[in-house]
């Protein structure tokens, strides 16, 4: 039986020096999906890319130049797939509509599927957004909040969250990481205000624990210099920076804290939270769309509403190893049951 031909359009994809949450998820999705379909991933050809085409893990990667909407559409039409899955990482609705509307217009394939991978920066979508979404046969929402946004403008969607490959994550944790204290608190992400690294640092300093250290891992951002200054004075605080393999550092943590101020530009369900929970590490997160549909307060982590609650829950977990263990066990079970890559891949396969 001939396999269906499927194309995925995602702007940034393997090989990347610093994969985003979107590219990390789509990478695992493509690898798993390629077992069942004839798959091609079309992405942007950055300067460091040495080739325009790759055969990788059972599928093809085609790299195109600017302007990406036009060149990616041309590449798709050459392949003539049965289905196209378009992943957007643009969080401004108007830009999303213009950018991916052009792709939808130019691609000849009838079964076009649109997935907004990141949360929008607007609570209410413009009415004109409905016309854009209607150019696709299927719409995928990555969380319930996004699905409700679509429903408000009269568009049906299917909720399919991001996922992780648990076995792959576990295989990536072999490196031994030094842990100077009994308890380790971790933050994973870029050092931007919306991600809240400053909130975690402030909470940690107010608690002033003797039994814990705090590590920050991520790329760059305006908040990084302040944390670096603190790390110079406080031996409990350290920045490990960006790592090609971050899993050993996450695995070394007893608690991961993601105190987002909002979810703009964050994967529909936070990749950092998914990875931590897959490693049985409980997450303290804020009441934002990328976390509140993943973390069940008091069951597999904590959802906090302000800095006072963040300080309270962090202090509690620092001194309660049994509760950390209970939350971590439930966190792992949550990922196994709802966010494992094989389950999510099957949901995508049903759409094609």
DSSP for 284-311, written as a single string? EEESSHHHHTT--BTTTEEEESSHHHHH
Instruction: Kindly state whether residues 179 and 264 are assigned to the same domain.
Output: yes
Instruction: Kindly state whether residues 93 and 202 are assigned to the same domain.
Output: no
- Give the model's pLDDT for residue 49: 58
What is the extent of the structural domain holding 89? Answer: 5-160
Instruction: Kindly state whether residues 223 and 135 are assigned to the same domain.
Output: no
Count of CB atoms situated within 10 Å of the CB of 292: 18
CATH number at residue 70: 3.40.50.2000
Q: What is the pTM of this model?
A: 0.95
Among residues 160, 190, 220, which one ends one of the domains?
160
- Give the model's pLDDT for residue 267: 87
- Give the model's pLDDT for residue 50: 60
**Gyration radius (Cα) of the chain, Å:** 21
Instruction: Kindly state whether residues 95 and 207 are assigned to the same domain.
Output: no
**Is 349 among the domain residues?**
no
Q: Quick one: DSSP state of residue 118?
A: B
Phi-psi region of 298 (alpha: psi -120 to 50; beta: other; left: phi over 0): left
- Give the model's pLDDT for residue 218: 84
- Give the model's pLDDT for residue 20: 85
Q: Using CB atoms within 10 A of its CB, is residue 178 exposed (0-12), middle (13-18) or buried (19+)?
A: exposed
**Is 323 among the domain residues?**
yes
Instruction: Kindly state whether residues 35 and 76 are assigned to the same domain.
Output: yes
Instruction: Kindly state whether residues 91 and 174 are assigned to the same domain.
Output: no
- How does pLDDT run along the chain (352 residues), one tens digit per residue? 789 999 999 999 998 876 788 999 999 999 999 999 999 999 999 876 566 888 999 999 999 999 999 999 999 999 999 999 999 999 999 999 999 999 999 999 999 999 999 999 999 999 999 999 999 999 999 999 999 999 999 999 999 999 999 999 999 999 989 999 999 999 999 999 999 999 999 999 999 999 999 999 988 899 999 999 999 999 999 999 888 899 999 999 999 999 999 988 788 899 999 999 999 999 999 999 999 999 999 999 999 999 999 999 999 999 999 999 999 999 999 999 999 999 999 999 999 9
- How far apart are alpha carbons 188 and 206 in whole angstroms? 21
- Give the model's pLDDT for residue 264: 84
Which residue in the block uniquely carries the two structure tokens 């691609």? Answer: 107
Instruction: Kindly state whether residues 82 and 22 are assigned to the same domain.
Output: yes
């Amino acid at each position: 039986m001939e396999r269906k031909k499927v194309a995925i359009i995602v702007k940034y994809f393997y090989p990347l020096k610093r994969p985003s949450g979107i590219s990390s998820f789509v990478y695992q999705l493509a690898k798993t999906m390629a077992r069942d379909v004839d798959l091609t991933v079309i992405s942007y050809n950055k300067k460091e890319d040495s080739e325009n085409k790759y055969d990788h893990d059972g599928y093809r990667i085609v790299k195109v130049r600017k302007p990406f909407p036009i060149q990616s559409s041309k590449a798709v039409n050459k392949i003539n797939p049965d289905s196209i899955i378009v992943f957007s990482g643009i969080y401004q609705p108007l830009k999303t509509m213009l950018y991916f509307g052009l792709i939808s217009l130019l691609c000849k394939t009838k079964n076009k599927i649109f997935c907004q991978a990141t949360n929008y920066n607007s609570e209410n979508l413009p009415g004109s957004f409905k016309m854009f979404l209607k150019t696709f046969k299927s719409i995928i929402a990555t969380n319930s909040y996004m699905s409700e946004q679509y429903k408000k403008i009269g568009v049906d969607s299917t909720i399919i969250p991001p996922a992780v490959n648990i076995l792959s994550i576990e295989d990536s944790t072999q490196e031994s990481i030094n842990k100077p204290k009994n308890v380790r608190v971790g933050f994973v992400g870029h050092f931007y205000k919306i991600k809240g690294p400053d909130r975690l640092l402030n909470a940690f300093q107010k608690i002033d624990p003797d039994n814990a250290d705090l590590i920050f891992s991520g790329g760059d951002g305006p908040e990084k210099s302040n944390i670096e200054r603190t790390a110079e004075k406080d031996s409990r605080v350290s920045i490990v920076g960006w790592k090609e393999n971050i899993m050993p550092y996450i695995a070394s943590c007893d608690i991961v804290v993601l105190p987002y101020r909002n979810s703009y530009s964050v994967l529909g369900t936070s990749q950092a939270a998914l990875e931590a929970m897959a490693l049985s590490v409980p997450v303290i997160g804020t009441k934002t769309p990328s976390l509140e549909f993943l973390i069940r307060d008091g069951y597999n982590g904590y959802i906090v509403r302000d800095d006072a609650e963040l300080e309270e829950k962090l202090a509690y977990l620092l001194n309660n190893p049994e509760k950390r263990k209970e939350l971590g066990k439930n966190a792992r079970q949550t990922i196994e049951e709802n966010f494992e890559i094989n389950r999510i891949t099957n949901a995508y396969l049903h759409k094609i």
